[in-house]
Structure formats: structure tokens, C-alpha cells
Amino acid sequence: MERPSFYLTTPIYYVNSVPHLGTAYTTVAADALARYRRMTGYDVHFLTGLDEHGQKVAQAAEQNGMTPQDWVDTIAPKFLEAWKLLDITNDDFIRTTEPRHEAGAQQFLQVLKDRGDLYQGHYEGWYCLPDETFYTEDQLGENSTCPQCGRDVQFVKEDNWFFRLSAYQDRLLAYYEEHPDFIQPDTRRNEVISFVSGGLKDLSVSRTTFTWGIPLPFAPEHVMYVWFDALINYITAVGFGADGTPTFSGPLAHYWPAQYHFVGKDIIRFHCTIWPAMLMAAGIPLPEKVFAHGFLLTKGEKMSKSTGNAVTPASLVERFGVDAYRYYFMRDVQFGTDGSVSVESMVQRYNADLANDWGNLVSRLFNMTEKYCGGVVPAVPVPADEDQDILRIAAGLPDAYELRMQSLDYAGALEAAWELIKRTNRYIEDSAPWNLAKADETRGRLEAVIYTALESVRIAALFVAPVMPNTSREVWRRLGLGDIHDVTDLAAAAVWGGLPAGSKVEKGEALFPRIYEDAE
């Protein structure tokens, strides 16, 4: 039976610096969803990559005494290293300098021209170089600065090619109404509707003042506007233009339309207005959903490379470990809203949830299994009345987790898993195996408690796995089970009683040694 496809993307990140917590946040969130969907039987295609064209890249290359291509070739490995460090399981990594993208992007532009949606004209207006974005006079911020980054803008005059974006205003508004889930969360949807309702102006899609970009196939003295070029990556990565025609071809073609584009809220105008209009103009189906998450804030300010308050993922991974890093950002920040992050709160979350709850449960339980059962899983017991509550929570976990993941409520999904973890800790306290081990007549109950707690840990590990893959793999290994990441039917794997009697349990080292040092 063929598995249903599931295609999700991060933005392709701009090559102006190394990855920081903001770019890693989007990527970890996408990875957790990709891992979860693989575990629930989907044929997942997870795309990330780099946006490597534009005036800003050309200037940075010149300042470093390099060609633009050589410059981006020095940056790309840093992203690949960061995603490897964070255990990102992307299936593809696209760079807009690749031939497959250039060919597909040119095919796309040719389609728009052939359909009458491109025309030549003269542009005069404001341009923010750091954001590579055009603005009208009434869109500028205070003191005529960029409304996004607050920096100075420059007035530019160019003969460009334009996309008839204004012609799609009514179609876009109708689409938003007919597909209320297209833009998420609702606050972003309302923002986009308000923006489009205010009127759309045609968009300049080419530049002639520099040459670092993809030449227009019908006007090679023009290069594509960097954002127009970048958005097309979502379809060139899955085969658009691969056979030299403006169609999808090859083995990846069945993935489009994407289920999700993950983006930051600062780029929703491109993804929820320009991109769907481009697809409408080309006669290509739209993605199912665009989810715009909030900003990570440190001391009330947006974390970004441009403001200089960005922390590198590597520095936190070195201190906390990769799984704790992933857990903190998925648990402590509600996906879709702005969230304040700090090392202090990371230490608190680590000690409370990971060291005390999850790590302590695994450590003490596996030690008790060694001490009272010779390190062997006891026989599967007939549940007693005292076991029913833990069985009820375990039985409800697949549906509770799925419901939250459908709305990308990572914090809620983890909280559902933690309900089982916390209840198992309490179950051990209430059952007191150390007392049951004192008499032969309570031996049967002792083994029933040990099995029940071990099985609860086995199931909890399944639902922790999308966010903390290494920890769950290690827990299953210590339980004498196979690789948890081979699971493709999560509901079946989570059925109670799946832990085989006689399996050898290994104590192992503490999963999350408590952090006692200052949080400075």
C-alpha cells in the first residue's frame, strides 16, 4: 500500500551569516513534524536550503575579495554543519545557485510571460538592501525607514520587468475565504487579509543594477529579483522544470502541493500574498498551509543577526546537549507566538522536566528492574485497579498527541507525553516497589508494577522521539528493543503490552545529569 505523501519546507535561509537560534527554531520545528509524520506512516519530504542570490550577497562577496559563488560556497557548509549538529533529518537541501533551480526558475518566469502576467516598466521607489525588499512611500516606517528592520532605505530607479500582482487581489481574497486554514495562525491570516484588502501594486521581478542572480530567459540583461527567485525553490526542489518543460517531472513530482510552508512572521507577505499569486498565474496548485511562527525574544528584543543579539545553537548544544536544546525551544515557546528565551529558563526547564521527570524516571526504574528482577522485563501482568489510570493515560496519548500536532501545538503535544511521564513517577511512589520487594507474597505485585512502569516508559519514549530523537533511541536500546526511528505505525507501536517479557534492561548512565552551575 502506497504511503500518503507529506511535503514540508522551511524558508530557504539567506547566506548573510551563520545559522542562529531563530533559523534553528524554524528548522527544529519542521524536523519534529517530519519525524512525527514518518512515525505515523507518511512518505515525508522535508526541504530546507539557502537563498544565495541578490545584491547583498554580491556586496558581501566583494567586501571579502571573493566572487559571489565562492562566497556562498563558504557559507553553505556552516548551515549543513548546524543541521547535522541539531539532528535535522531534511531530505533535501536546495541552493538557489544550483542548475536544477535556475532551470526551473527560468521556466516559471517564461510561463508568466507567455500568459501575459509580466510586462516591462520603470520602477522608482524605496528599497531596503538588508531585507532585499521594495516598499512604497506609505509602507515605510518612522523617519522613512524600513518597516521591518528599521534601517535606512534607498531610493532606486530601474527599468524592470513587473508581475501583475494587482490583478490577483480579488482571487487571493476569495481563496483566503474559501480556504480558512491556508494561513495560520489566525492572527497572521487577519494581517494578510488586511494587507491585501488595502490594495496590491504590481511587483518588480527583475534588477539591472547588478548581475548576481538568475538571468531572465527572455531578457538576459535582467536578473530575477531575489525574493521572486527564492520562492520558486519550493517547486524546483520537487521536480518543476526538471525535464526542460514548465511541468513537474521525476520521482519527486508527487509531493506537490506542500502540506506546510514554515516561515517567520516577518516574511508572510511574500509567502501568503506574492507566492500564491505567482502560483495562480502559472496555473500551479497552491500549498495547503503556510504557518508563520513568532520571534524569539531575548530581553524583549527580536533575536537576529542584524541586531547582534543572536546566540549560536552550537554554544547551547555544547552546554545542554542536542535533545535538551530541541526540547526547550519546542516546549517553552508556543509555536506561532513570540517567545522569550534565556539561558536561565533553559536551565530551569532542563532540571525540572528532563533531569527530574524524564531522566529520573528512567534511571530509578531501570535500576529497580536490575535490583528486583535481575535486569529482565517481567511477564505481562493482568492490570489491577491501581494500574487503570496509567493505562488510561497511555491509551489516550496517541489521539491527544495527534490532535495537538495537527495544530502544531508542540508544547501541548509534549505536555501530553509528560502527563504519562509524571503519572508514572507518581505510580512508582504510590506502589513503592521497595516495600513490595520485602516479602515473597507481594512478589507478583512487584513484577506487575515494574512491568507497568517499564511499558509506560516505552510508550512515552515513542511520543518524545520527534523532539528528542537521541534520548528515545537510547531508552529503547536500554529496553532491549529495536531502533525507535524504524516505527512507521505509531498507534500500533503504542498499544499497551508491546514490551516483550524476558527482554534484558540495561541501567546505563543518567540521561540528563542535573545542572547545578549558575545560569550566567
67-71, 260-264, 335-339, 415-419: which range is least confident on average? 335-339
Compute the half-sphere exposure of residue 3: CA atoms within 13 Å on the CB side of its CA. 15
Res 2 pLDDT > 60? yes
CA distances to 164, 254, 262, 265, 278 from 285, rounded to whole Å, are 18, 12, 18, 23, 10
SS3 237: coil
Among the listed residues 324, 360, 359, 363, the one whose alpha carbon sits nearest the alpha carbon of residue 345: 324
Q: Look up residue 515 and give its three cell numbers.
A: 545542572
Among the listed residues 95, 16, 20, 19, the one whose alpha carbon sits nearest the alpha carbon of residue 60: 16
Share of the chain above pLDDT 90, in %: 82
Alpha helices in 292-409 (DSSP H): 313-320, 322-331, 343-349, 360-373, 388-406
CA dihedral 128→130→131→134, nearest 10 degrees, is 20
Look at residue 129 in the predicted model and tell me its pLDDT: 72
Res 307 pLDDT > 60? no
Distance of CA 113 to the CA centre of its chain: 34
479 vs 60 pLDDT, higher one? 479
Distance of CA 99 to the CA centre of its chain: 26
Among the listed residues 223, 229, 198, the one whose alpha carbon sits nearest the alpha carbon of residue 209: 223
Look at residue 124 in the predicted model and tell me its pLDDT: 74
Look at residue 520 in the predicted model and tell me its pLDDT: 42
Rounded CA gap, 186 and 183, in Å? 7
Res 378 pLDDT > 60? yes
The string of DSSP codes covering 101-151 is HHHHHHHHHHHHHHTT-EEEEEEEEEEETTTTEEE-GGG--GGGB-TTT--
Topology, domain 342-493: Isoleucyl-tRNA Synthetase; Domain 1 (1.10.730)
Amino acid (1-letter code) at residue 83 = W
**Angle between the N-to-C axes of helices 169-178 and 186-197, in degrees from 0 to 180, rounded to the nearest 10:** 150
Q: Which residues of 353-377 are buried (b: 16+ CB within 10 A; e: fewer)?
A: bbbebbbbbbbebbebbeebbebeb
The dihedral built from the CA positions of residue 12, 14, 19 and 24, taken in this order, carries a sign that is negative
pTM for the model: 0.93
Q: Look up residue 294 and give its three cell numbers.
A: 513568532
Share of the chain above pLDDT 70, in %: 97
Among the listed residues 222, 12, 214, the one whose alpha carbon sits nearest the alpha carbon of residue 118: 222
Q: Using one digit for the tens of pLDDT, what is the confidence trace for 409-459?
A: 999 999 999 999 999 999 999 999 999 999 999 999 999 999 999 999 999
CA distances to 102, 405, 450 from 364, rounded to whole Å, are 56, 30, 11
Q: Look up residue 349 and give its three cell numbers.
A: 526547564
Look at residue 145 in the predicted model and tell me its pLDDT: 85
Look at residue 139 in the predicted model and tell me its pLDDT: 79
Amino acid (1-letter code) at residue 285 = P
120 pLDDT tier (thresholds 50, 70, 90): very high
- Going by the DSSP 8-state scheme, the letter that residue 260 receives in this structure is E
CA dihedral 268→272→275→278, nearest 10 degrees, is -150
Q: Look up residue 166 and give its three cell numbers.
A: 494587482
Look at residue 303 in the predicted model and tell me its pLDDT: 47
DSSP run (H or E) holding 226: helix 226-231
Beta strands at 215-216 and 219-224: parallel, antiparallel or unpaired: antiparallel
